[in-house]
Amino acid sequence: MTQTVEPEATPPWDAAQVKLTSKELGPGVFAVMPEDVFTKDHVATTAGFVIGERSVLVIESMLNGDLASQLIGLVRQRTKKPIRFLVNTSYHGDHAYGNYLFSDSTAVIQHPATKRYMEEHFEDDRRFMIGLMGKGKGIERVQARTADITVADMLSVDLGGRRVEIRHFGFAQTPGDLVIWAPEAKVLWVGNMIQAPAPALPWLLEGRHSETMATLTRVREFLPEDAIIIPGHGRPMRPADIEFPLNYLRELDSAVRAAIDAGWSAEATLEAVDMPRYAEYSLFEWAHKSVNVPAAYQHVQELRGRTT
């Protein structure tokens, strides 16, 4: 479950430059996004919060203490009610490293696999994130804090007059991917199972793209057409927009299977499966060539090995 993909030479975004803003999407339901979310195809981590009559639920805790403080500050601009719950969509540092900055009275919610990973691999993961995001970005100061409550399937949280559902639809980018659904406002936070709307591509950091396709299909079928999706690193999107990453994964799967059927090596497959129509994504070279094609090749080989 450890992230083994070599990070980019250039960070996908600069943690020291991120300015967060909040947008109300429904009564008491707020998306938190970087200010440049509408001008770039991949930005810093998104988050959110839901305010009930009694308390607040926050989604994500960001990469470091500075960004977590910004997030808490946005909540406090809207309400003085206690932050009773904090949900991490995955173990990835930019979604969970800021947990330590929240009050002890805030219950952290994670999938059991996320809690287990953070307890067993925190220092390895911190080194990976420093390699990805750069030194001196506050990652060195974060402290591990894991779940008080784990959700393996679904949990409904009553904030007082406002309900939030925390669901696990299956593996998408990690075994512990959670989504957060505010049913009255029809808003769904999905974390890194969807990076951003088109032209952004999935990051198959842990492979298993066939499971990712199945999970995204289940999410698509769950949502009403007028729902709003907050992806992990991009602007709000609609359920119909899920077809773009699904189509990419289907084409990737088909092309890699054809290459393996032809007896090509991993290196030859990487050269052949270039998929240029998806190259508009600013992180295409890294996400597609360094991560996704090798991961898909390995996954298909593993699946075929199980059936022979």
Q: What is the DSSP letter of 3?
A: -
Mean of the per-residue pLDDT values of the chain: 95
Strands 107-110, 149-150: pairing is parallel
Q: What is the DSSP letter of 192?
A: T
What's the predicted TM-score (pTM) here? 0.95
Confidence band (pLDDT; 50, 70, 90) for 233? very high
Confidence band (pLDDT; 50, 70, 90) for 272? very high
In the prediction, which pLDDT does 41 show? 97
Please check the confidence at residue 2 and state whether its pLDDT lies above 50: no
Confidence band (pLDDT; 50, 70, 90) for 3? very low
Classify each residue of 94-121 as buried b or exposed e, where b means 16 or more C-beta atoms within 10 Å of its C-beta: bbbbbbebbeeebbbbbbebbbbbbeeb
Q: What is the DSSP letter of 61?
A: -
In the prediction, which pLDDT does 277 show? 97
Please check the confidence at residue 307 and state whether its pLDDT lies above 90: no
- Write out pLDDT tens, residues 180-227: 999 999 999 999 999 999 999 999 999 999 999 999 999 999 999 999
Mean pLDDT of 138-164: 98
In the prediction, which pLDDT does 141 show? 96
Mean pLDDT of 106-121: 98
Omega cis (within 30) before 199 = yes
Tokens, residue 242: 């899920």
- Write out pLDDT tens, residues 126-147: 999 999 899 999 999 999 999 9
In the prediction, which pLDDT does 20 show? 98
* CB contact at 8 A, 163 and 156: yes
* CB contact at 8 A, 87 and 166: yes
| CB atoms inside a 10 Å sphere around CB 227 | 18
CA gap 101, 12 in Å, rounded: 24
Confidence band (pLDDT; 50, 70, 90) for 9? low
The region, left, alpha or beta by phi > 0 then psi within -120 to 50, assigned to residue 116 is alpha
Q: Return all residues near 24 (Cβ < 8 A) that are at least 6 apart.
A: 30
Confidence band (pLDDT; 50, 70, 90) for 6? low
Please check the confidence at residue 46 and state whether its pLDDT lies above 60: yes
* CB contact at 8 A, 168 and 207: no
CA gap 57, 63 in Å, rounded: 18
In the prediction, which pLDDT does 114 show? 98
Tokens, residue 123: 């220092």
String of DSSP letters for 100-164: GGS-TTSEEEE-HHHHHHHHHHHHHHHHHHHHHH-TTSSGGG------SEE-SSEEEEE-SS-EE
Alpha helix positions (H), 12-56: none
Please check the confidence at residue 1 and state whether its pLDDT lies above 80: no
Confidence band (pLDDT; 50, 70, 90) for 12? confident
Confidence band (pLDDT; 50, 70, 90) for 304? confident
